[in-house]
Amino acid sequence: MRKEERSMRKNKRNENQSGLAVPAAWLVLALVWPSLSFGDEAQGHKLAFKAEAGAVFRTDQNFDTGFLYGAGFFTLLSPRIGLELLITGNRAPMNEPPAGLSAGKLATTQVLLSGQYRFAKDGRFIPYAIFGLEFNFFHFWPADEAEENTADVVDRLAPHLGAGLDWALSDWLTLNADARYSIIKTWVEDLPREGPIGEVNPDEVDQISLNALTLTLGLKFFF
Amino acid sequence: MMRKTGVLLFAVFLLGFSFSVRADEVAVQKAPGEGLCQAAISSFSLVPFASLPKPEQTSPAAAPAAEPVFRRPVAAVVETAAVNVAIWLTGYLTGGQQAFISLETMNENFKYWFEWDPNHFRTNFIAHPYHGSLYFNSGRSNGLSYWESALCSLGGSFMWETVMERHRPSINDLIMTTTGGMFLGEAMFRYTSLILDDNARGFDRVWREAVSLLLNPAGGLNRLFFGGEMVRPSGVSQAKSPLSGIITLGGQARGDNPDIESNKTGPSADFLLVYGTPFTGGEARQPFDYFPVEFTLRFQDKAYLTIYGYSLLFGRELEAKSGQNHLLGLFQHYDYINTEAIELGGTSLCAGLVSRFELSKTTHLTLTPQLGWMILGVSNNEYVVEDLRDYNYGTGVTAKLDGFFNFQKYGSVLLRWAHYTIYALEGAAGTDRLNVFTGEYRIPVWKQVMLGLQYQHYRRNSDYRDFPDVKKFLYGLRLQVSYGF
């Protein structure tokens, strides 16, 4: 009796496994098959629309992890050099707000211009290095939305560097994974601003570091 | 003794030969560039006896700098912007307060527009021209012409001033980065063209590339990026023109009163480089086919640097009698004078004449009068104290006269007068007038080694509308030993 039960359970498990395996196999095939037919014609595509999503990890422990999403365009300037223009957004809660800010969330909109050095001219998998600049537009959201915002984080142009991997699924579709590290130094200012921000000497204010590691998965649609 | 006499006779023979060949005969009888070196040495007023020409210097290898056959304007623009990003990034990562920028600071810069900045004298008149030379050579080493590369200097400087610094853009930086960058940039481009040799191999190649990279980073990096294209036979590295010069070491005494015991003394080093020749027999010229530059470094309680140079932008040789040569041209000047009592920096555009007269078989005179517009100049000022700045900004007149007598084996005499009138545009309202006189005698003692004595006199007369006038002077006496090449 026990043997029969065991046998039945095993068969059922096998059925379940085969039931999962089939769609998984189809998914893998759907992803891989086009890439098997990846041909030279794909090299003709120079411009792509890119969408990505991921997470932002600030090195300052007072900031929690934030969800990031974004979109933009990618172009190949040469077989080895790529250029990317992205707009991303994220909002991260603050565990311990920096001096001048109350509890709340810090929203960041980034406009990134990145260059890519691609380590292979063609192929299904192309790793690349990233270097670029990003405009960071910060906006502080108090936890109590009724509260008047009397301080904010100053916007900053900052550099970033990183690495990524392109996986060509077809001649028009590429899956990519990026890791970017941004070096952001800025400060908290009182609102309303009294004079031009360019006249504030950064050496005379308490600077904060908003360095961040961004991990994203994205898709590039070539056209 | 016999050897020395032989060398001198050979030099006299070569000099005599070069003078005896008229300009039009050079064009007919010689290949382009042949014999230019003697002409450069014997005609340039800053080069005294110097430079007894060596046999190899007179080889026909010398030819005017050729324009490269490749052109990469997009790369030039991208590299110009990359220079700015690289310098900004260095400042940002090292905590430089000017590097804290954002879209807001950029908007403010366009809103408030240009002003005169309060930076240190050497920042505005050494660092900014060097910065401009990087832009310039981003263009030049990508195959653009001198004037096209000047646009790189202008565009790069405009980008830096308006968007890459949190400070408001400054008009003086825009002018000095552009014009100074054109001067230093083309000078470095020409010097590195002489150093680079695509036929060199091994260590010989390594040191040439390394030195060129140091002098002209944009050009050196382009050789790394586009190495394959840079080695074309008609490429940059094949552009050769004669170069002569003098290295001088000496001990100098300086003072501002007749009491000689109160004078301060210290060592000094002087590098004079003369690229090209003013007289080419009517051949077509490019800007900077002829330019002399003199760098003087003096040490006392601190180091003092002086740069005195000009370049031919456009020129035409005039018909002349036998034994005479005349070049009429438009010259760009770059002056940086840093002394204990007098500081002057500026860039000028002057009309000038280079004339050489053969007074006798053994005596030649070269006269170089120049007069023009000082586009931007500064003079130190007791009444302007703003941040790091202690000088007036202005514009005005530059006038120079060089007279050089070459007595062959009996030595040479140089008499040089430079005058600058600067009308204040910003600072203490008034006029600064500066005069610099140099008198020098050099005599050859052994091969290309010379002994000499130099006297310099600086005088500044400043008349101010709202402050008491200032009159200052400084003189210096230098005993020196020189080596000409």
Bigger pLDDT: A32 vs B155: B155
DSSP string, B212-239: HHHH-HHHHHHHHHTHHHHTSTTSGGG-
- Residue-level pLDDT at B247: 95
Angle subtended at Cα B421 by Cα B420 and Cα B427, rounded to the nearest 5 degrees: 115
In angstroms, rounded to a whole number, what is the distance separating the alpha carbons of residues B423 and B377?
9
Q: What is the DSSP letter of A121?
A: S
* Together in a domain, A30 and A52: no
Question: Which candidate from B93, B97, B108 shows the least CB-CB separation from A202?
Answer: B97
- From chain B, the residues in CB contact with A133 under 8 A are 85
d(CA B32, CA B276) in angstroms, rounded, equals 13
Task: Give the tens place of pLDDT for each residue, A89-145.
Answer: 998 888 777 777 888 888 999 999 999 999 998 889 999 999 999 999 999 888 877
Rounded to the nearest angstrom, the minimum Cα separation between A212 and chain B is 15
- Reply yes or no on whether the pLDDT at B9 is more than 60: no
> Both A14 and A64 in a single domain?
no
Query: Residue A4: which pLDDT band, with cuts at 50, 70 and 90?
Result: low
Write b or e for each residue in B422-442: b if 16 or more Cβ atoms lie within 10 A of its Cβ, otherwise e: bebbbbbebbbbbbbebebbb
Same domain, A206 and A100: yes
pLDDT: which is higher, B47 or A104: A104
DSSP B277-315: -S--SS----TTSSEEEEEEEEESSSEEEEEEEEEEEEE
B438-471 pLDDT tens trace = 999 999 999 899 999 999 999 999 999 989 998 9
Give the pLDDT band (50/70/90) at residue B242: confident
Check if the beta carbon of residue B481 is closer than 8 Å to that of residue B365: no
C-alpha distances (whole Å) from B220 to each of B134, B142, B185, B229 are 11, 11, 13, 13
Best probe of the A interface among B72, B78, B87, B104, by most A CBs < 10 A, is B104
- Identify whether the C-beta of residue B347 lies closer than 8 Å to the C-beta of residue B336: no
pTM, entire model: 0.81
- In the β-sheet with A151-153, what is the strand arrangement from edge to edge? A151-153, A185-190, A207-209
Give the count of beta carbons closer than 10 Å to the beta carbon of residue A38. Answer: 17
Residue A39 has pLDDT above 50, yes or no: no
Most confident of A16-20, B317-321, B367-371, B455-459: B367-371
Q: Measured between alpha carbons, how far is B118 from B79 in angstroms, rounded to an integer?
A: 29
Q: Cα angle at B443 between B442 and B444, to 5 degrees?
A: 125
Q: Are A202 and A106 part of one and the same domain?
A: yes
**What is the secondary structure of B137-200 as a DSSP string?**
HHHHTTT--HHHHHHHHHHHHHHIIIII-SSPPBHHHHHHHHHHHHHHHHHHHHHHHHH--TT-
Determine, for residues B102 and A156 on separate chains, whether the beta-carbon distance falls below 8 Å. Answer: yes
Asked whether residue A97 falls in the same domain as residue A12, the answer is no
Q: Is ipTM over 0.90? A: no
Tell me the average pLDDT across B54-65: 39
Would you place residue B268 in the very low, low, confident or very high pLDDT band (cuts 50, 70, 90)? Answer: very high
Mean pLDDT of all residues belonging to chain A: 84
List phi, psi (to 5°) of B481.
-125, 135
Which chain B residue has its CA at the smallest distance from A200's CA? B166
Percent of chain A with pLDDT over 70: 81
Instruction: Say how many residues make up chain A.
Output: 223
Long-range residue pairs from B107-112, CB within 8 A, at least 24 positions apart, any chain = B108/A196, B108/A197, B108/A198, B108/B168, B109/A198, B109/B161, B109/B162, B109/B163, B109/B165, B109/B168, B109/B169, B110/B162, B112/A196, B112/B168
pLDDT at residue B61 above 50? no
Q: How many domains does chain A have?
A: 2
- The span from the CA of A215 to the CA of A164, in Å, is 10
Mean pLDDT is lowest, of B274-288, B300-314, B409-423, for B274-288
CA B307 to mean position of chain CA atoms:
7
Q: What is the DSSP string of B94-130?
A: TT-GGG---HHHHHHHHHH--B-----HHIIIIIHHH
Do A204 and A175 share a structural domain?
A: yes
Same domain, A3 and A64: no
Please, what are the domains in chain B?
Answer: 73-237 (no CATH), 242-484 (2.40.160)
Domain of residue A20 covers 1-36
- Site from B90, B94, B100, B166 to mutate, A interface, most A CB atoms within 10 angstroms: B100
d(CA B197, CA B211): 12
Q: How big is the A-B interface in CB pairs under 8 Å?
A: 44
- DSSP assignment, residue B322? T
Q: What are phi and psi of B34, to 5 degrees?
A: -70, 135
Q: In 3D, which of B331, B64, B321 has the Cα closest to residue B182?
A: B331
pLDDT at residue B375 tops 60: yes
What residues of chain A lie within 8 A of the CB of B93, using their CB? 159, 183
Collapse the DSSP code of B342 into the 3-class scheme (helix H, G, I; strand E, B; otherwise coil) and give the result.
coil
pLDDT at B252 over 90: no
- pLDDT of B241 reads 64
Using the beta-carbon criterion (under 8 Å), do A137 and B103 form an inter-chain contact? Answer: yes
DSSP-assigned states of every residue in B245-271: EEEEEEEEEEESSS-GGG-EEEEEEEE
- For residue range B10-26, list pLDDT tens digits in order: 343 333 333 333 233 33
CA dist A130 and A116 (Å) reads 5
* Residue B259 predicted with pLDDT over 70: no
Which tokens hold the place of A130? 């990233």
CB neighbour list of residue B189: distance below 8 Å, 6 or more residues apart: B136, B137, B140, B141, B216, B219, B236
Show Cβ contacts of residue A99 under 8 Å, excluding neighbours closer than 6 positions: A188, A206
Task: Check which CATH number belongs to the domain holding A118 and give it.
Answer: 2.40.160.20
Q: What is the pLDDT of residues B178-188, one digit of tens each?
A: 999 999 999 99
What mean pLDDT value characterizes chain B? 82
The answer to whether the Cβ–Cβ distance between B104 and A203 falls below 8 Å is no
CA B403 and chain centroid, separation:
19
Q: Are residues A122 and A151 in the same domain?
A: yes
Contact residues, chain A, for B75 at CB < 8 Å = none
* Cα distance from N-terminal residue to C-terminal residue, chain B: 21
Which residue of A157, A203, A210 to mutate against B (max B Cβ within 10 Å)? A157
Q: How far apart are the first and last CA of chain A?
A: 63
Tell whether A23 and A72 lie within a shared domain: no
The residue among B194, B201, B304, B289 whose CA lies nearest residue B239 is B194
Q: Is the dihedral of CA B144, B146, B150, B153 positive or negative?
A: positive
- Beta carbons of B103 and A155 less than 8 Å apart: yes
The predicted model gives B287-307 an average pLDDT of: 91
Q: Which residue of B has its CA nearest to A196?
A: B108
Check whether B299 has a pLDDT greater than 60.
yes
User: Once rounded to an integer, what is the mean pLDDT over residues B18-41?
Assistant: 33
Q: Give B168's contacts in chain A (Cβ within 8 Å).
A: 198
Contact B38, B435 (CB under 8 A): no
What pLDDT, on the 0 to 100 scale, is given for residue A15? Answer: 55
pLDDT in tens, A176-187: 999 999 999 999
Please state, in angstroms and rounded to a whole number, the distance separating the CA atoms of residues B104 and B112: 12
pLDDT digits (tens, 9 = 90+) for A26-38: 666 555 554 444 4
Distance from CA of A159 to the nearest CA of B (A): 7
Report the SS3 class of residue B133: helix
Query: What value does the mean pLDDT take over residues A143-149?
Result: 78
- Residue identified by tokens 């095993």 is A10
Q: What is the pLDDT of residues B165-176, one digit of tens each?
A: 999 999 999 999
A78 chain-B contacts, CB cut-off 8 A: none
Mean pLDDT, residues B251-273 taken together? 81
Residue B231 has pLDDT above 70, yes or no: no
**Contact: B97, A201; criterion CB under 8 Å:** yes
Q: Which residue has the higher pLDDT, B28 or B196?
A: B196
| pLDDT higher than 80, residue B38 | no
Are A14 and A123 contained in the same domain? no
CB-facing half-sphere around the CA of A106: CA atoms within 13 A: 28
| pLDDT tens-digit map of B380-400 | 888 887 777 888 899 999 999
Lowest mean pLDDT among A100-114, A192-206, B232-246, B309-323: B232-246
| Whether residue A117 is found in the same domain as residue A167 | yes
Among B70-79, B231-240, B418-427, the minimum mean pLDDT is found in B231-240
The DSSP secondary-structure symbol of A45 reads -
Peptide bond before residue A192 is cis, with ω within 30 degrees of 0: yes
The verdict on A125 and A27 lying in the same domain is no
